Amino acid sequence: MQLAVFDLDGTITRRDTLLPYVMGFPMSTARKLLGVLVFLGPLLLFVIGRRDRGRLKSAFIRSVLGGQTRSRIEDWTAQFVPRLLRRGVFADALRTITRHKQEGARLVLMSASTDLYVPAIGAALGFDEVICTGVRWNGDRLDGHLTTPNRRGTEKTRCFEALRNRHPGLTSAAYGNAASDLDHLRLADHPLLVNPSPSARRQAAKLGIPTAHWH
């Protein structure tokens, strides 16, 4: 049996998922534009190095979706996920997931994207476990602050190491697409960096991590 760990954005999906999820949420154009304007402040702080990616992500969610009800968020997720899986995923990623499933692997989806929709993607694709960034609720209303560290870079590595410790004896396969994924990919028995940028490809080569182009 094997542990097969997949990144989401850019690995299974063709592009980032948080931006289309947030900006596609059904609300008035005026309310959405107001949220974007509010977000410009945190974005500027990120650009000048005074916000990290986790705080930027939280600020984006809070600016646009803060205060939305759980039922409205769930309704949107139920629309967003099937649409994403119909048109926004790599066929090679789906074939690889299916192969691991047929081989009896334990499938884990590990993403820096949020639990507003990543668990629904994991369930739809047949993953056994989902690890992603948590978002806080205030009762029935979305708060938007993060309840976990942003599952990226060294935090992903920590989660990957914890997975291996929980499943001793299993060989591990890991798939990612970004330079930030290399930190945990290097720990896998069978790593693969897919559709990397030229810089990420060079870094992967130095670490002995193979690369592939998925369609």
> How is the chain split into domains, by residue range?
2-212
Helix, strand or coil for residue 91?
helix
Q: How far apart are the first and last CA of the chain?
A: 27
What is residue 84's predicted lDDT score, i.e. its pLDDT? 98
Whole-model pTM? 0.96
Q: Which structure tokens are listed for 200?
A: 């990420």
Q: Which structure tokens are listed for 158?
A: 């920590």
Q: How many CB atoms lie within 10 A of CB 141?
A: 13
Q: Which structure tokens are listed for 42?
A: 């945190």
What is residue 74's predicted lDDT score, i.e. its pLDDT? 98
What does CATH list as the number for 2-212?
3.40.50.1000
What is residue 50's predicted lDDT score, i.e. its pLDDT? 85
Intervals of the chain under pLDDT 70: none
d(CA 128, CA 107) in angstroms, rounded, equals: 5
Query: Cβ(66)–Cβ(143) under 8 Å?
Result: yes
Query: Cβ(125)–Cβ(97) under 8 Å?
Result: yes
What is residue 1's predicted lDDT score, i.e. its pLDDT? 82
Span 55-105, pLDDT tens digits: 999 999 999 999 999 999 999 999 999 999 999 999 999 999 999 999 999
Per-residue DSSP letter, 89? B
